[in-house]
Amino acid sequence: MKQEILNRFLRYVQIDTKSDENSETYPSTKKQFDLARILEKELANLGLKDAGIDEYGYVTASLPSNIDKDIPVIAFLAHMDTAPDMSGKNVRPQVFENYTGEDIIINKDLNIHLTVKDFPELKNYTGQTIITASGNTLLGADDKAGIAEIMTALEYLVKNPEIKHGTIKVAFTPDEEIGKGVDFFDVKKFGADYAYTMDGGEVGELEYENFNAAGISIKIQGRDIHPGYAKGKMINAIHVATELNDMLPIDQRPELTENLEGFFHIIRFIGTVETAEIHYLIRDHDMDKFEQKKTFIKEVVSLINKKYNREVARYQLEDQYYNMRKKIEPVFHIVEQAKQAMIEVGITPNVKPIRGGTDGARLSYMGLPCPNIFTGGHNFHGKQEFIPLESMEKAVQVILKIVEKSTK
């Protein structure tokens, strides 16, 4: 099974599927169809006659039930796009077999390493097979590992019809990384009773709660005057923007928070004396604190305008997704089922909140309860991303065990 997983994964990550948050199309990049068409063909070759891809890039398929009793329809999902943070073009995966437990040189010329000092979790994978990119791009395990795991599990079930299962649905979605992954997903047509996204990190992760999320963009209108004659007249938009940023609590930045702590995350700044623009992510697991954060940043904008006695700052704030816990708790048996599946394949479940979001968060609010399961990867979205092959194999085993347990 490991070789099948590896072959799939190496093939998928070399297809550029980077999404674009500034695009007005759906999917945000046409190149996501390149992987979608490959997956559609592979699903059809497995004998899934309803395998298809729609105008929005959603790839879906069903493995029909092979048992006589009526049981809930279960689904597994993963996303095809990779993060806009880092290039996904010309990904060149590297395979380090029989990892020795020492530092890994990803790219000697660029001085990019995986060091045990910086990433002590590497020691957990001594003797295993580690996969990285080449130092110029991300790897794309988020979430092509999830795709490879689902496809491998499907192939295993097709080739071993003696394994009893109900109807199993799969879906591969675009644009998850930019928060638009299920904008046009038809939950009713899909027809699953519950689902799991294969989109988590290291082995054992199981998540059924996530951030409440919003994004805010703030535009600053300054006044550019010749600096030699600027006294009392110039309003430097760069200074206004940095002043506004300094009014946000320093201890609520991503690099200073953990567990259930929320944050304000500045993700983009563009500025001249005349105009500036700042973009933030607002995150918190607690809905009350989430609302307080949104209120606070709006009040900061108001204070800036009062100081300058004019509307120098304007904002546009939009909620992005909400904590799925509220929708999962009424059907908590699907979390318990995943926990028990992990235990039965020798994994200690690590149930914790996601410090992020997945398609599953929005799907849960659309009527498809959808907790999140590990894929096995580390350091997503960066050049030091890596994933152990054995972790992907464990993810496949968990999928198969969930399928088995769903028939009981």
Terminal alpha carbon distance of the chain: 25
Q: Quick one: average pLDDT of 125-131?
A: 98
C-alpha to C-alpha distance for 182 and 45, rounded to whole angstroms: 26
pLDDT band at 1 (very low <50, low <70, confident <90, very high): confident
Q: Do residues 1 and 9 lie in contact, with contact meaning Cβ atoms separated by under 8 Å? A: no
Q: What does pTM read for this prediction?
A: 0.88
Break the chain into its structural domains and give their ranges: 2-209+323-405, 212-321
Q: Quick one: average pLDDT of 44-56?
A: 95
Structure-token match 């963009």, residue found: 217
Domain 212-321 part of CATH 3.30.70.360: yes
pLDDT in the model for residue 179: 84
Domain 2-209+323-405 part of CATH 3.90.550.10: no
Q: Catalytic: 393? A: no
Percent of the residues in the chain that have a pLDDT greater than 90, as a whole number: 95
Element at 36 (helix H, strand E): helix 32-45
pLDDT in the model for residue 297: 98
Give the active site residue among 16, 143, 176, 284: 176
Q: What share of the chain is helix, strand, coil (3-state, %, to 5)?
A: 35, 25, 40
Q: Do residues 182 and 189 lie in contact, with contact meaning Cβ atoms separated by under 8 Å? A: no
58: which residues sit within 8 A by CB, 6+ positions away?
171, 172, 173, 174, 184, 185
Q: Catalytic: 199? A: no
pLDDT tens track for 350-393: 999 988 878 899 999 999 999 999 999 999 999 999 999 999 99
Give the active site residue among 16, 40, 42, 81: 81
The tokens of 386 are what?
């890596």
Does the pLDDT of residue 84 top 90, yes or no?
yes
